[in-house]
Amino acid sequence: MSLSLFDLTGRCALITGSSQGIGLALAQGLGAAGARIVLNGRNPDKLDETADLLRQDGLEVETLSFDVTDHDAVRAAVDGFEVDHGAIDILINNAGMQHRAPLEEFPADAFEKLLQTNIASVFHVSQAVALHMIPRKAGKIINIASVQTALARPGIAPYTATKGAVANLTKGMATDWAKHGLNCNAIAPGYFDTPLNAALKADEAFNDWLCKRAPAGRWGDLPELVGAAIFLSSDACSYVNGTTIFVDGGITASV
């Protein structure tokens, strides 16, 4: 009985930015838990390649290419999928970007792009999906925040601002939509070896700092995010709303 709470068989999960990195790892994990996966990104060819790889592992996978920063395109894609392929039961807002520069030199256009990609997209996709979830009185929305939701490092102040906003938007979603049967939560990864962190991974000094700073003493492995995602996608989280789960090796718990 207790394990059945985590079974995602028969559920459909849309994961934005899922052709690589965290999004791909979560697609693999939720698919292995029984969910039908809908991969999203702006490059249809890359999505098709990723879908083929996942199908080789026996997962049920579809693709839905749209720009998460384009409100009208998001709405059209989600509405069309619901009509043609059925309900989206789980949404993971994973699409994101990074730009590093001293704050006093930070380009204004890069700041605006971060806002659109990291936070406006969460609004666009969540609203489009929630408009279908609300009449069904059920749905799981998971937003990917960051260890920078609670902390800051030099050179990424705008990124930190967007990830703080993700956590607060998650609280707002829960406040508005819990009464409709939706569970809206966030996962805040620490330092994982992803394309977004490639520059940090290549920095020997940063690697040394991280291994000393994190109580776990290492980088996170992408599969270590899957458990939290399955929990927040499943019936096991039926009374969990508006929270952010930090999967960070203890960094935010220590000084």
C-beta of residue 93 within 8 angstroms of C-beta of residue 125:
yes
Tokens found for residue 133: 């979830």
What spatial distance separates the first Cα and last Cα of the chain, rounded to whole Å?
40
C-beta of residue 13 within 8 angstroms of C-beta of residue 233:
yes
Does 159 qualify as catalytic in the annotation? yes
**Cβ neighbours, 10 Å, residue 195:** 11
Query: What are the CA-CA distances from residue 128 to residues 1, 81, 117, 124, 133 (Å)?
Result: 33, 11, 16, 6, 9
Question: Which one of 66, 81, 111, 159 is the catalytic residue?
Answer: 159
Q: Quote the CA–CA distance of 1 and 144 in Å, as a whole number.
A: 29
Q: Quote the CA–CA distance of 4 and 34 in Å, as a whole number.
A: 11
C-beta of residue 153 within 8 angstroms of C-beta of residue 197:
no
Tokens found for residue 42: 């702006």
Kind and range of the H or E element at 92?
strand 90-93
Task: State the catalytic residues.
Answer: 159
